[in-house]
Structure 1
Amino acid sequence: MRNSFSTGVCLLLAAGLPPLIVSRGSLAFADEVVPTPRLEITSEFAPASLSQLFSAMQSGNRKQISLPGATWIQLQFSKPQLGVDDYLQIEDSTGEIIRLSDSQIESWDGHTPRFKGSVLNITLSSPEEDLSTGSIAIRKIIIGIGSSSLSDGVLPKGLQKMLGPDSSKLLPQGQKLNPRINPESICDASDNRVTSSNRGVGRLMDIGCTAYIVWGDRMITAGHCDRPGATLVEFNVPPSDTTGTTQPAAVDDQYFVVPDSFVSQETTDNDWAVFRVRPNQITGLFPAEAQGTLIPLSRRSQPNNVTITGYGVDGPSPNFGSSGPRNADSQTQQTGTGPANYPNNIRIEYRTDTQPANSGSPILQQATNTSIGVHFSGGCGTRGGRNAGTSFRSAAFWNAIGDSTHGTQTVAKIISYQRGVVTAFSGKGIYLSPDGRSIGGGGLTTRA
């Protein structure tokens, strides 16, 4: 659900206007989202050389998609018409092969995972090809393009030759080449963030934010990340390339965002969102089960120091990726710690380093990995200022999570059991979720 403020911002984006930045009192700006540069090719706008890719495939048919200069490829199919034993086989440029059934393709609204590289080989197969009447057709080819394409407004040469110089018709709604420069929010002269591996914290794409696991399928991010480009959550992401271009996570670590599942607010101090994801297309697992963890929540803790863990941009001094060059650490998981204060019951402020794309990061009590809120705003600099987030003491935020009985709990173990998920909390009991979603209380979850 989007409130009227969020809807208004979305209309601005759709019109191609710059995102609206809310005044934060003494703080100058909200941490900006960092959209992944991508193109969406449909049969309507495909050049003649690609038009045959959109024709229907029958059992035994094979197609190769080759888009020189693409950093990754994702496909969306029209409603598949496959037999019970038919499957779609996809091989990427690294040699990784996956097989998708009719139901697996439908579960992600026709989408596949994202595959690294510029080449895909797809085959529609059946154990009895002579008898199969299955068919499937590509609806859309979605490709990633290098970060430099956004800064200089020019497509890679291979793609420009194939798609033509005018790429505007292939850009998703609201995205443009040559976007405005992102402000940075490093608190002092040096960036104190370090590489981290918190399994409960993921990267929200293509909007370019951070999100973290609350229950099996439920996640938290910042309210201003509730945008049409928020479609995929990734965990265990690899390094970016040397220019800061993000690389997709392994197909087992990708989760499709449930359309229209966002509940969000985006006001001066309340900048938060709660949303849901679907199970991984290959493993059938929700993030909490696959990652073996979630982020415990607390409304009571107000630690003197807080840790921010997320997927902010990175690069050399003095801008550290907010403008100018980026590096292989950009939009990979990093963490930093700094002093915090609490100016009111909802707002948390801290001199902990963050950057654009950190929006949605958990504000953590370091010793327990317990989140006390969500990061949404920059404001730090060498002359002072603070970054900021929303506390779970916000009643609207807490109620949206739907977890008023959660309190502060430490996850001891998450296991799969008879098509459900069992979560054990240290000193707090064991909970069974038959649908694998509402881990830790609420929904269909019952205390075992």
Structure 2
Amino acid sequence: MLVKSAAAVALFSLISISSNASDKSICGRTDDRVPSTDAKVARALDSRTGTGGCTVTMIGRTCAISAGHCKSVLKIAEFNTPMSDSRGRIQHPGVEDVYEIDQESIVYRNGGVGNDYAVMKVLPNNVTGAYAGDIQGHYNVTFDRPVKGDVIRITGYGLDYNDDERNLAQQTHTGEIMSTSSRSGSATMTHVADTMGGNSGSSILKESTSEIVAIHTHGGCSSRGGSNSSTLIADHQILKDAITACLATEPQD
């Protein structure tokens, strides 16, 4: 009788939620991600009792970004998440750190490498009434184009086959930009930061400025080389317009 490990069960459930879950990959022979506690970065789930999903990052008081292929799990954003349990099952934070995503606000495209994004509004917490960006903070998005060799950081909620408590819990890693390219309707940036399924939608920060330059979406690394892929914001006009429009309608208190 074949017994599935906790990580395998988590992988199965995650793939059922996000069609590209298995595409994320480790660059090189070792997984160099480390646990992190970035309050600006949330785990996206399909419900308050979800078992895995994608990653969302706040870019304003209410505005957030993720990947378009994550649309089915862009229902709940939970911040300040605990580590997973000894069987690799995610643990949820307190209700004050769980927010609903406004489904009517989501602007997204699941168009493959270079054209995969989601911009959305996060509703006020239904217990505290507070906006996520006010409590958790947010990152600024830059429309300046990064260059090959820039060091970037990716933080998100990927699978982990080596450590059950890190499985689908928040981890972070840095790597270099390998290339940028664009053509009509798409803009791609490749990189060698470690990721796994669940990192879909992770914002990519330029390490020197802590500004968001891209959205992580697809894998491509292996132990022998390769690179992971993202949607480059600076060269994607429709995505820039969606971000600008969302930020322009932020609540003013």
Number of residue equivalences: 234
- The aligned counterpart of 1:370 is 211
Alpha-carbon RMSD across the aligned residues, in angstroms, is 2.9
Question: Which structure is higher in helix share?
Answer: 2
SS of the aligned residue for 2:165 comes to coil
Q: Distance in 1 between matches of 2:205 and 2:108?
A: 21
Confirm or deny: 8 A CA contact 1:239 1:246 kept in the other structure. yes
- The aligned counterpart of 1:356 is 197
- Aligned residue identity for 1:343: T
Task: From the superposition, tell whether residues 357 and 444 of structure 1 become closer, same or farther in structure 2 (CA, over 3 Å).
Answer: closer
- The aligned counterpart of 1:309 is 155
**Deviation of residue 267 (structure 1)?**
1.5
Question: What does the per-residue CA deviation read over 1:20-45, in whole Å, with 9 as the maximum and x for residues that have no partner?
Answer: xxxxxxxxxxxxxxxxxxxxxxxxxx
Q: Distance in 1 between matches of 2:23 and 2:178?
A: 23
Task: From the superposition, tell whether residues 152 and 367 of structure 1 become closer, same or farther in structure 2 (CA, over 3 Å).
Answer: closer
SS of the aligned residue for 2:181 comes to coil
- The aligned counterpart of 2:172 is 335
**Deviation of residue 444 (structure 1)?**
5.8
Task: From the superposition, tell whether residues 237 and 391 of structure 1 become closer, same or farther in structure 2 (CA, over 3 Å).
Answer: same
Uncovered stretches (5+) of structure 2, i.e. residues with no partner: 47-51
- TM value normalised by structure 2: 0.83
- Alignment of 1:208 with 2:53, yes or no, is yes
Q: Distance in 2 between matches of 1:274 and 1:284?
A: 22
- Alignment of 1:252 with 2:96, yes or no, is yes
- The aligned counterpart of 1:401 is 243
Question: What does the per-residue CA deviation read over 1:169-222, in whole Å, with 9 as the maximum and x for residues that have no partner?
Answer: xx9xx959xx99935510111111111222211111136100000121211000
Larger radius of gyration: 1
- The aligned counterpart of 1:223 is 68
Q: Distance in 2 between matches of 1:198 and 1:384?
A: 28
Alignment of 1:253-292 (within 5 A): 253-268=97-112, 269-291=114-136
**Deviation of residue 445 (structure 1)?**
6.0
SS of the aligned residue for 1:224 comes to helix
Confirm or deny: 8 A CA contact 1:219 1:275 kept in the other structure. yes
Question: What does the per-residue CA deviation read over 1:139-163, in whole Å, with 9 as the maximum and x for residues that have no partner?
Answer: xxxxxxx95794799xxxxxxxxxx
Q: Distance in 2 between matches of 1:389 and 1:152?
A: 21
Question: What does the per-residue CA deviation read over 1:89-133, in whole Å, with 9 as the maximum and x for residues that have no partner?
Answer: xxxxxxxxxxxxxxxxxxxxxxxxxxxxxxxxxxxxxxxxxxxxx
- The aligned counterpart of 1:190 is 30
Decide which moves more: 342-351 or 376-385: 342-351
Task: From the superposition, tell whether residues 301 and 343 of structure 1 become closer, same or farther in structure 2 (CA, over 3 Å).
Answer: closer
SS of the aligned residue for 1:402 comes to helix
Q: Distance in 2 between matches of 1:217 and 1:147?
A: 34
Alignment of 1:40-79 (within 5 A): none
Confirm or deny: 8 A CA contact 1:307 1:364 kept in the other structure. yes
**Deviation of residue 305 (structure 1)?**
1.5
Question: What does the per-residue CA deviation read over 1:348-380, in whole Å, with 9 as the maximum and x for residues that have no partner?
Answer: 100110000001111111132111011001111
**Deviation of residue 330 (structure 1)?**
1.2
Q: Distance in 1 between matches of 2:20 and 2:6?
A: 14
Task: From the superposition, tell whether residues 445 and 275 of structure 1 become closer, same or farther in structure 2 (CA, over 3 Å).
Answer: closer
Confirm or deny: 8 A CA contact 2:177 2:191 kept in the other structure. yes
Confirm or deny: 8 A CA contact 1:306 1:366 kept in the other structure. yes
- TM value normalised by structure 1: 0.48
Q: Distance in 1 between matches of 2:79 and 2:139?
A: 14
- Aligned residue identity for 2:225: G
Q: Distance in 1 between matches of 2:159 and 2:224?
A: 21
Confirm or deny: 8 A CA contact 2:151 2:208 kept in the other structure. no
Uncovered stretches (5+) of structure 1, i.e. residues with no partner: 1-145, 154-170, 317-325, 404-437
**Deviation of residue 278 (structure 1)?**
1.3
- Aligned residue identity for 1:377: H
Q: Distance in 2 between matches of 1:150 and 1:302?
A: 38
